[in-house]
A and B are shown apart, each in its own frame.
Chain A
């Protein structure tokens, strides 16, 4: 078991999360479908974490606490997925390649078991104003 696991996060879309975001960006439904990270079983096992475990995801850009979800895809250790949202955007660098494309598709981050709840939208809003 490891206290920290390094992953590459790719941001993707999900119709259910999209639907929740269209209804309200401030609902628990949107938070529950956005503040999560989809991980390979092997990465979860390495952390000693189970489905639903709160994880601190951090990198040079920022950090968020989100819930782990076990991937149903073929094995992809080291590769994680997050849905496009203000939570995943906490980790996206705005250093752009050619002035155009932010690094949403290859975010390097580390994971560790978190104490406490997932980061609230109000906390993300406060960070923006700080």
Chain B
């Protein structure tokens, strides 16, 4: 069996047969996973300096030289790297006195931090499959982002206490600004919120749970929702960026809602982390530095704060090493442009906007396919994997170690 690193579900049941350097047969991959596997054979990077092909040793030496002479380097990405590579990255950041951050900094970090500190109750996806009779997709759309979420864990499968069919056993609720693919599945229990209206909707749920009249939403539907929540034996909430960006610094309200729900019954939360090992980076950083992300090691001290977020550091750094990430595609234009103007070092298996703009490109093996290692699933379960394709390419961990040695 192979593993898919296409998203943070880290599906472990993938059957993949290789013939003449291509997959002749694959089983259990979703559409997203399938494209992730097929991508192993297209648009691969080669070592480059200033757009010219070079040998790998020169690219690594150049990367080390740039980092060594930098005064305020940023090491960014990490969510698509193994725990072993992340650990090497944290050591490199320490050695350089660099800022280190990952995508969780402007994504699920705000929620993951509360999960890891125990402020918000959580569980595993296997618990969801075994016990959940109500699942809430709040500002998340797993049918697009984590396509096997519903079939492996949260809606369709039978579980220890959910032996009947999903129509009888499970209620699925969607709260979203649009009728997403997942919201369509939730039919009767789709609640549309206005952009930024999630806090108001939470207040309305709190009101109906306390027997008051809600200020927003269709009153009849809200009362029906309250009765579904009260009758729930074991519930799970899967917040996506829709909820997180909408609530912003009002996460206490979500904590209040959870406290109320847990007075009545059981409700757990699993953040819909996107990249396959974002949670791993957060856990490792917490263990090594006391913070889940946004850390600077300048002058040998650990400093943490918004000024050390990748978004802020992109504008103040004098070089950036980007690993397994394409910030020039994914970040706001101003941040992407600030990064593009720096001497960038891109470590990536495949061509991207970031590798196109990079001064140094170092090709890497694809984790899960060409490199083994360890990662943490979105629910905190650690998963080990072995490569299924032989390659001469170095893993992220080996590249970071080589750079460190060269420095």
**Residues of A that sit less than 8 Å from B by CB:** 8, 10, 12-16, 18-26, 61-62, 73-74, 76, 79, 81, 84-86, 89-94, 96-106, 121, 124-125, 127-130
Shortest CB-to-CB span from B294 to chain A, Å, is: 8
A102 close to B332 (CB less than 8 A): yes
Note all chain B residues with C-beta closer than 8 A to A73.
178-179
Note all chain B residues with C-beta closer than 8 A to A130.
337
Q: Which residue of B lies closest to A85 (CB)?
A: B329
For this complex, into which size category does the number of interface residues on chain B fall?
Answer: 35 or more
A94 close to B334 (CB less than 8 A): yes
B39 close to A89 (CB less than 8 A): no
B245 within 8 A of A: yes
Which residues of chain B from 178 to 213 have a CB within 8 Å of any chain A CB? 178-181, 192, 195-196
Cα–Cα, bound, A116→B96 (Å): 48
Note all chain B residues with C-beta closer than 8 A to A91.
333
B255 within 8 A of A: no
A10 close to B42 (CB less than 8 A): no
Shortest CB-to-CB span from A123 to chain B, Å, is: 12
Shortest CB-to-CB span from B191 to chain A, Å, is: 12
A100 close to B179 (CB less than 8 A): no
Cα–Cα, bound, A100→B242 (Å): 15
- Select A79's contact among B177, B180, B328, beta carbons within 8 Å: B177
**Residues of B that sit less than 8 Å from A by CB:** 6, 31-32, 34-36, 38-39, 42-43, 105-106, 109-110, 141, 143-145, 147, 177-181, 192, 195-196, 241-242, 244-246, 248-249, 305-307, 309, 311-312, 326, 328-337, 340-341, 351-353, 356-357
Q: Which residue of B lies closest to A97 (CB)?
A: B248
Note all chain B residues with C-beta closer than 8 A to A8.
195
Known contacts A15-B143, A18-B32: A100-B306 contact under CB 8 Å:
yes
A98 close to B178 (CB less than 8 A): no
Note all chain A residues with C-beta closer than 8 A to B248.
97-98, 101
Note all chain B residues with C-beta closer than 8 A to A14.
144
Top 6 nearest A-B pairs (CB, nearest first) are A99-B306, A92-B332, A94-B332, A94-B334, A22-B35, A128-B340
Note all chain B residues with C-beta closer than 8 A to A106.
195-196
- Select B141's contact among A13, A100, A102, beta carbons within 8 Å: A13
Cα–Cα, bound, A124→B328 (Å): 10
A90 close to B333 (CB less than 8 A): yes
A128 close to B328 (CB less than 8 A): yes
Q: Which residue of B lies closest to A105 (CB)?
A: B245
Cα–Cα, bound, A53→B152 (Å): 40
Q: Which residue of B lies closest to A129 (CB)?
A: B340
B144 close to A94 (CB less than 8 A): no
Identify 13 residue pairs between A and B in the complex whose beta-carbon atoms are under 8 Å apart, listed by A's number.
A10-B177, A13-B144, A22-B6, A26-B43, A86-B329, A89-B330, A92-B333, A94-B311, A99-B309, A101-B110, A102-B335, A121-B353, A127-B337
